[in-house]
Amino acid sequence: MTARSRRLAVLVAALCLSMPMLALAAPQLPALPDVTVGRIGEAPVSLPLQTLLLMTAITLIPSMLLVLTAFTRIIVVLALLRQALGTGQTPSNQVLVGLALFLTALVMTPVWEAAWRAGFGPWLDGTLDFRSAWDLGTAPLRAFMLAQVRETDLMTFAGLAGHGAYAGPDEVPFQVLVASFVTSELKTAFEIGFLIFIPFIIIDLVVASVLMSMGMMMLSPMLVSAPFKILLFVLVDGWVLTVGTLAASFN
């Protein structure tokens, strides 16, 4: 064995002997504690679980916007109005949805402000616990939905849920209230849409009768009546009239 080989063997043996000592001398990392920053009742909730709950709540926001606000009635009426005008996809879906969103914000702003003042604002300030803030904050929204709900719809869903007559508005379960609110909004929207359709149907009938009397059966009545319907809608300032009626229909 050469001198270089002997030195290499001695170095390897020294490293092997020093490994346990290096392991003992290395600083030990402290164990990460279980991060708990919230509670549900008396049970602690970890940060990953809170993040999961928050992401789930964010995904439910569009559905809540559809079924808990005035958006359903507004977008259905606007869609029926476009169909009554016979303009196809004009205005586009994006325009109708944008108009419905801003009109929904206009109608729901007093409700959101009342909910903020009563519950959620004091909770963020630390002057109210979450359970009380939730009850006080959702009370204006419940009052808004109850004002639009039809009694027949409410009793129907109460029967489906196996409940009898409720003693008061506070006794109505949230799921029964939401279901009856959505069906009531759809019924009201179709009633408004029916009233919107009437003048445009009259124009279609008049134009079709004139074309038939002139023997122009090959000419589409919809093609001829479309300019007259648009002219009538513009002359009566139809968009402002429709939007104002929709906003005023929420008592």
Domain boundaries, the chain: 71-248
Secondary structure of residue 191 in the 3-state scheme: helix
> 3-state DSSP: the chain helix, strand, coil percent, rounded to 5?
75, 5, 20
Strands 43-46, 36-40: parallel, antiparallel or unpaired by DSSP?
A: antiparallel
Residues 30-61 pLDDT 10s:
544 444 455 555 556 566 666 777 777 777 77
Q: Which segment of 52-56, 169-173, 183-187, 205-209 scores lowest on mean pLDDT?
A: 52-56
pLDDT band at 190 (very low <50, low <70, confident <90, very high): very high
Nearest by Cα to 76 from 179, 187, 234, 154: 187
Are the C-beta atoms of residues 211 and 219 closer than 8 Å to each other? yes
CB-based burial label for 75 (10 Å; 0-12, 13-18, 19+):
buried
Q: Is the pTM of this model over 0.85?
A: no
Are the C-beta atoms of residues 228 and 236 closer than 8 Å to each other? no
